[in-house]
Chains A and B, each alone.
Chain A
Amino acid sequence: GEDVEQSLFLSVREGDSSVINCTYTDSSSTYLYWYKQEPGAGLQLLTYIFSNMDMKQDQRLTVLLNKKDKHLSLRIADTQTGDSAIYFCAEMDQKLVFGQGTRLTINP
């Protein structure tokens, strides 16, 4: 079945890069997404990558996809305090399947 795994916590210093990793199981996933959830707020789509792509860059965000290893990563350059949130990886087959989320904490 579908399963998405993420590490639960990541702590970085302000200004450094953050790398959040995700593995998934469904090789037929067409799209893979990164969502952001701030405290008390809903899920906000950050970026996506189509399954035939290896990389996608969008301003401070870089998504890397290794389809052979079913590994997805999100790199946030120049991490700011406003980036503190929970980040969810999600794969799309017939519906979105989410990982547990990675809580990103920024240290001054």
Chain B
Amino acid sequence: DTGVSQDPRHKITKRGQNVTFRCDPISEHNRLYWYRQTLGQGPEFLTYFQNEAQLEKSRLLSDRFSAERPKGSFSTLEIQRTEQGDSAMYLCASSLAAFTDYGYTFGSGTRLTVV
């Protein structure tokens, strides 16, 4: 297994456009998380899935954001009508269980720039 993969690595989009990011977790991990990181800040939790069920969404996740994990494997995060404030690094992570001594395994992220 090559770890957590995210695609694309970079995305530049015009304000008002829709964007979709993909995350492929470690295959045996049943939990998948999305975080957002802006410059100079720590990662902020957005949402997580256990298998295909979305169990929690942050208040940060406005109605323009939607995440899916249709078959309990890969996940997509879509942002509709992007705004400049959406510019950030979007990080995906996965884990085998809720409480683990190895924490989460993170992908390298998708850097979104909204112009």
Contacts and interface: CB of A to CB of B under 8 A. Distances in A.
A42 B42 contact: no
A96 interface: yes
B23 to A, nearest CB: 12
A44 B35 CA distance: 15
A95 B56 contact: yes
Chain A: interface size category: 20 to 34
Chain B: interface size category: 20 to 34
B100 A31 contact: yes
| Interface class of chain B by DSSP | loop
B103 interface: yes
Contacts, number: 58
| Interface class of chain A by DSSP | strand
Given A31-B103, A33-B103, A35-B103, A41 B108 contact: yes
Contact of B101 (A44, A48, A97): A48
A45 B102 contact: yes
B74 interface: no
Interface string A15-48: 0000000000000001101010000011111001
The 6 closest A-B pairs by CB, nearest first: A98-B42, A43-B106, A42-B108, A42-B106, A33-B103, A45-B103
Interface of A: 4, 8, 30-31, 33, 35, 41-45, 48, 50, 88, 90, 92, 94-101
